[in-house]
Amino acid sequence: MKTALVAPSILSANFTHLGDDIKRIQEAGADWLHFDVMDGHFVPNISFGLPVLQGIAKTHNMVNDVHIMIDNPREYAQRFVEAGADYLTFHYEACGSDSEVFEVIDLIHKYGAKAGLSIKPKTPIEKVFPFLNSLDLVLIMSVEPGFGGQSFIRDSLGKILRLRNYIDENEIKTLIEVDGGINEQTARECKQMGVDVFVAGSYVFNAEDVKAAIRSLKI
Ligand code: DX5
Ligand code: ZN
């Protein structure tokens, strides 16, 4: 099993020094930069959007891992890719049908990014199976989307394992990313289930030693 990639979520960064914090995590060994977009409608919070992504996407060498927790992802896919998303991950629950999910995946690929599909904690993992041959990534939410600093939902472990088994049995290339309440302890449990990428916001940005925090997730 390969060493996991680490994607710090800038939702937990210090916004008076966002550029410094991005530099700090890159120098500390982060692989991806996780960019949490919230519209105050799909989730009960508003974060940041296109102008901020445009402003930071090319200021670092990490992969821009954009997680859009918004309604109507079909309307915005092109703009987020053009603003700098390398991976653009949208929510299954924000689409009205399986065909709309396929439409958004196709749009993301058409404009040149990799496509990810995210599911909330209460959505069964089997819902993503029909899309796996088209998806570059599945993002399993291990907290209710909308806020950083929440506790890891332990049912996520079973979802990760079921997805890992399905991907391996069908020789699919899709990456598994987990997001929410990730720290040294929960990362270890998730890695045993077969995670490829860890999102971590508060664990990284609140750490005394950011380098050590990121290193502790590269397992
Ligand atoms: C929550 C976001 C997560 C969050 C992770 O809706 O999608 O990426 O920022 O924050 P922590 O790691 O603090 O749970
Ligand atoms: Zn996220």
Q: Which two tokens stand for residue 4?
A: 């996991």
Q: Residue 152 contacts by C-beta under 8 Å, 6 or more apart in sequence?
A: 142, 143, 180, 181, 182, 183, 186
Which ligand lies nearest the alpha carbon of 183? 1
Give the CA distances from residue 76 to residues 35, 37, 83, 115, 217, in Å, rounded to whole numbers and listed in that order: 15, 11, 11, 13, 32
Task: Give the span between the Cα atoms of 172 and 169, in whole angstroms.
Answer: 8
Nearest to 211 by CA among 8, 2, 4: 8
Task: Give residue 179's pLDDT.
Answer: 98
Task: Give residue 1's pLDDT.
Answer: 76
Which of 179, 185, 190 is the pocket-test mutation for ligand 1 (most atoms within 8 Å of CB)? 179
Within 82-142, strands assigned E span 87-91, 114-119, 137-141
Residues forming the active site: 36, 179
- pLDDT by 10s per residue, the chain, length 219: 799 999 999 999 999 999 999 999 999 999 999 999 999 999 999 999 999 999 999 999 999 999 999 999 999 999 999 999 999 999 999 999 999 999 999 999 999 999 999 999 999 999 999 999 999 999 999 999 999 999 999 999 999 999 999 999 999 999 999 999 999 999 999 999 999 999 999 999 999 999 999 999 999
Name residues with Cβ closer than 5 Å to ligand 2, which is an ion: 36, 67, 179
Task: Give the span between the Cα atoms of 79 and 94, in whole angstroms.
Answer: 17
Task: Give residue 41's pLDDT.
Answer: 98
Does residue 143's CB lie within 6 angstroms of at least one atom of ligand 1? yes
